[in-house]
Amino acid sequence: MDLISTLRYEAKRRAEEEAAAARAAEATARLLEGRIALVTGAGHGIGRGHALELAKHGATVIVNDLGTSVRGEGSGRDAEEVVEIIEKRGGSAVPDFGDVGDEEQARAMVERAHADFGRLDILVNNAGIVRDRAIWNMPADDYDLVMRVHVRGTWLTCRAAAQRWREAAKSSANGKVYGRIINTTSGAGLWGNFGQTNYATAKAAIVGLTLTLNLELATIGVTANVIGPAGVTRLSATVPGMPEPVEADQRPEDEFDPMDPSLCCPIVAWLASPEAAHVSGQVVRVRSGDIILMGGWTEDAVVPSGGKRWDAASLGTVFATDVFRTRATGLRMGT
């Protein structure tokens, strides 16, 4: 091959590679192109990461954050900072300062999406606070407030979105709409954690809520899933010995930190996309970047009653040998 042919070959190869890269970049950008998303608790941490990731993939994001402390005190304009970051990166976003635990304000978030953008496609519930204490030291108000933000707040926004989607489905040609709900649990909600009877209860309740949403909204085409992030956030940083949290926009694009909670954000973006239309009622953990599908409750042991009422006095042996299997059963005829 002479020099001219070689140069032409190399130029053609580079052009093909650049075209392929451009097509790949365009496909990535279109993952959520034109979609309208509401992300609650998006002023910091995981929620901020979600908002940035959804905007990166083409969604217009309503960035909700009341601007409170991690204990749910005060208010602020944190959502505006996230909107500025998104807009500087070429994305589209608007701030929202509503309180997810307030019925009218939660409804207003969803109504704003319809009023300003014509619809809501994606709802990501991330808003949360912590008020950690062992149960013997925890005031009832601390329990109530954590439940209000996590459980009531998630339920209120889901209800407002579901009502709108159901009405839209009635006038749809196929009786279905585009709707994605991604709610948030945590390791505390799945396994429990000392000092968090309020927070762990709330995060477990959100799983039950989402599994039920999956059933109730399936016929209209709406999916409902749970994301379980792990890493250092403003909330987890309240635990003694934990490092200071780093915001998603403060990290280099190519950095990989196993304690980065925004490692779960691409999974949320995918769950919100058309590609995930077949995925619903799932709980997905992301720890150190690893994707972990949670199996949920299973029947580890079943002991037939034989059609008779149990005698409490005889249950010690049953639980030891057939339920917990802490004692060998010994030889049983026919087994």
Q: Give the residue numbers spanning the domain of 328.
A: 299-335
Which residues have a catalytic role annotated? 186, 199, 203
Tokens of 306: 């034989």
Q: Tell me the pLDDT tens digit for each residue of 72-86.
A: 777 889 999 999 999
1 falls within a domain: no
Same domain, 170 and 189: yes
Give residue for tokens 């959804």.
54
β partners of residue 283: 226
Q: Quote the number of domains for the chain.
A: 2
Same domain, 130 and 58: yes
Angle at 313 between CA 308 and CA 318, to 5 degrees: 70
Q: Tell me the pLDDT tens digit for each residue of 256-296.
A: 888 888 899 999 999 999 999 999 999 999 999 999 999 98
Same domain, 328 and 221: no
Same domain, 123 and 199: yes
Alpha helices of 97-170 — where are they, by DSSP H?
103-117, 140-147, 153-170
Residue 7 clears pLDDT 80, i.e. is over it: no
* Mean pLDDT, rounded, for 19-26: 59
Sheet strands (E) in the chain:
36-39, 60-64, 92-96, 122-124, 179-184, 222-229, 283-287, 290-293
Is the backbone of residue 109 left (phi > 0), alpha (psi -120 to 50) or beta? alpha
Q: Tell me the pLDDT tens digit for each residue of 147-169.
A: 999 999 999 999 999 999 999 99
* pLDDT at res. 332: 85
Same domain, 171 and 114: yes
Rounded Cα distance between 252 and 107, Å, is 36
Same domain, 211 and 325: no
> Residue 133 contacts by C-beta under 8 Å, 6 or more apart in sequence?
142, 195
Instruction: Measure CA 218 to chain center.
Output: 18
Rounded Cα distance between 292 and 279, Å, is 15
At 28, the pLDDT band (50, 70, 90 cuts) reads very low
Same domain, 243 and 223: yes
> Residue 78 contacts by C-beta under 8 Å, 6 or more apart in sequence?
43, 44, 65, 67
78 falls within a domain: yes
167 falls within a domain: yes
Rounded Cα distance between 211 and 169, Å, is 21
Measure the N-to-C terminal CA separation of the chain; round to a whole number of Å: 78
Q: pTM of this prediction?
A: 0.87
CATH number of the domain bearing residue 132: 3.40.50.720
Same domain, 274 and 184: yes
Closest C-alpha among 124, 105, 118 to residue 262: 124
Same domain, 279 and 328: no
Give residue for tokens 């407002």.
160
* Maximal C-alpha separation, the chain: 95
> Residue 84 contacts by C-beta under 8 Å, 6 or more apart in sequence?
none
332 falls within a domain: yes
Contacts by 10-16 with C-beta closer than 8 Å and gap 24+?
none
Same domain, 246 and 204: yes
The mean predicted confidence, pLDDT, of the chain is 91
Helix (H, G, I), strand (E, B) or coil at 163: helix
Same domain, 169 and 289: yes
